[in-house]
Structure 1
Amino acid sequence: TRAEMLPALAAVLGYVAAGGLRYLMGVGDSASLVEAVGLGVDQFDCVMQTRLGRHGTALTSEGKLHVKAARYADDDGPIDATCECEVCARHTRGYLRHLFQVGEPTALRLVSMHNIAWTLQLMSRMREAVAAGTFDTLRREVLNVWG
């Protein structure tokens, strides 16, 4: 669990030389990312973004969005209005839901692409917040949504 991981991570990071790369494998949920960055982790990799995308779940500024849900059948909005990715710029929730409903493999790719882009945007926001000295505010915002 995250509650178990964070104290262990903090303890281990105490042994990493200053200026050394701090890599955390297999962690990709937004709350864990922001907490790990707060502890000084620099680099991550995880399959979560593509796994969720393949199953029709998109990451958004308001939490997870289940694109396959019936309520999105006629939704002409993007996955996330705050996202700057090509998927959000070009495709609607309704269209993506339709692709899933008809078994079109493009749906899996598009939602996966969105999730990767969304996570990269989150990481960029974290870098900017660290540089600006506003990371704690961003951390609270992320945790309010992602817990």
Structure 2
Amino acid sequence: MIDLLDYETIYSGDNAMDERYKKLVITGIICSVLLLASMVVTPKLQPEPDRLYREYDPSRMELLDSGAAVEAAIDPEGKYSINSISGSDAPTYVMVDINHATAEQLDHLLPGIGETLAGRIVEYREITGGFNTVDELTEVKGISDRLLEELRGYIYAG
């Protein structure tokens, strides 16, 4: 009876088969190592905690619902119309005037703008007399081109 696990009995004298078997085993080992390495090295994709907090912060919605805290920031000159959707689940969209909004309003209403950046925006505005265009925001320390692109749907320079 031939033992199927007896390598010498099956492959004796056949060098070509012996080489193929070695290559197959080596290939299997390499694939296993690469698969394990990719599982260990690849980071799990998770959203940035700060971004989630800023986008879903309930206090921001309270500010929007009250209206009093953002009255000066939302279209003070009536240049833009804001269409509303009725219903409790309707999203609220605002355009914030970076020339009139307070630091608190900038902090609470704009994604990526915290207390520090909001203060810098107000300080820059006071020193220069205001923003002529939204693009001038990149002159404020900490506001990159990337952040400006994220803010474009929320801001204008009135």
TM-score range, shorter chain: under 0.3
**Which structure has the highest strand share of the two?**
1
Larger Rg: 2
Structure with a larger share of its residues in helix: 1
With a CA cutoff of 8 Å and minimum separation of 6, indicate the structure with the bigger relative contact order: 1
**Taking structure 2 as the reference length, what is the TM-score of the superposition?**
0.23
